[in-house]
Amino acid sequence: MRFVVKLGGAALEDKKILHACGKAIADLVADGNQVAVVHGGGVQLTRTLAQMGKKSEFISGLRITDAETRDAALMVLAGRVNKSLVASIGTHGQSAVGLSGGDGHVFRARKKKTNPDLGFVGEIAAMDPKWLEAIWAMGAVPVISSIALGFDGEYYNINADEMAAACAIGAKADTLVFLTDVPGVKGADGNVMRWLTLAQIPAMEQAQVVSGGMLPKLNACRDALTHGVKRVRILPAEAASLLPDLVSTRVNDGTEVMVA
């Protein structure tokens, strides 16, 4: 099977959780699966920007990104965060290759049209899986930071959830898994929903049951499921060890997002 796994937040910040994620990814490959990892690094970027004296602002879960913020994102996401994840996977004997979305034109971006303008925030316009296929053919794991190159020659900050969905669609993945800081999608009663259909999402958004960073995540789930990805799971990063079990057993942690 072909998996795309998205990591962000505490999974990249907590060494113990990062170690567990690296092992789970290595185990998936050892079981005969092809795995691509897409990662964000918003917590790390926010901290770096604060050290630079810049305040981070968000609209609907998306970071307002001026040129200086974009350059910091390149440094943090495509640099330190990407290489720490490559190292974590490698610790378990599984080779990994770190990329930004701009390398090899794996992803091409265009500026996201929003009101108000978000600056250098992009959306994926095209995806070419040939470099991922080459890395998989060598038995390695591609690890992709959520930065992509625009047709205008500018780098754009991409929401990592959106990039993960685009990666899963373009690479014809069977399964997309979001490893997150939260236990899953919570309903109006505050309890984690084990199953969530696409038809339920608009009403939850309207009632603001889901908001902030969960909005782009659910939009990414919708895009993936309506463009050929068979299975989408939102799983707490602390339960990363369950990743290999998704292939053959019932996993109760997190939220399974389904077409119907």
pLDDT tens digit sequence for 173-188: 999 999 998 899 999 9
- The total number of residues shown for the chain amounts to 260
Residue 248 has pLDDT above 80, yes or no: no
Q: Which whole number is the average pLDDT over 25-40?
A: 96
Residue 255 has pLDDT above 90, yes or no: yes
Q: What is the CATH number of the domain that holds 228?
A: 3.40.1160.10
219 is annotated as contributing to ligand binding: no
- Rounded CA gap, 13 and 172, in Å? 29
Label residue 213 by pLDDT band (50, 70, 90): confident
42 is annotated as contributing to ligand binding: yes
Number of domains in the chain: 1
Better-scored residue on pLDDT, 194 or 213: 194
Which residues, including other chains, have CB under 8 Å from residue 145's CB and lie 6 or more apart?
A: 39, 41, 77, 78, 81, 82, 98, 99, 100, 101
Burial (Cβ within 10 Å: 0-12, 13-18, ≥19) of residue 206: exposed
> Per the structure block, which two tokens stand in for 82?
């990407």
- Comparing C-alpha atoms, which of 206, 233, 240 is closest to residue 85? 240
**What pLDDT is stored for residue 229 in this prediction?**
97
- Comparing C-alpha atoms, which of 8, 86, 68, 89 is closest to residue 44? 8
**What pLDDT is stored for residue 13 in this prediction?**
86
**What pLDDT is stored for residue 73 in this prediction?**
95
**What pLDDT is stored for residue 250 in this prediction?**
74
Q: Which whole number is the average pLDDT over 93-98?
A: 98
Label residue 60 by pLDDT band (50, 70, 90): confident
9 is annotated as contributing to ligand binding: no
190 is annotated as contributing to ligand binding: no
User: What does pLDDT average to over the chain?
Assistant: 93
- Whole-model pTM? 0.94
Query: Are 81 and 11 within 8 A, CB to CB?
Result: no
Q: Residue 165's domain spans which residues?
A: 2-258
Range name among 59-63, 75-79, 87-91 with the lowest pLDDT average: 59-63
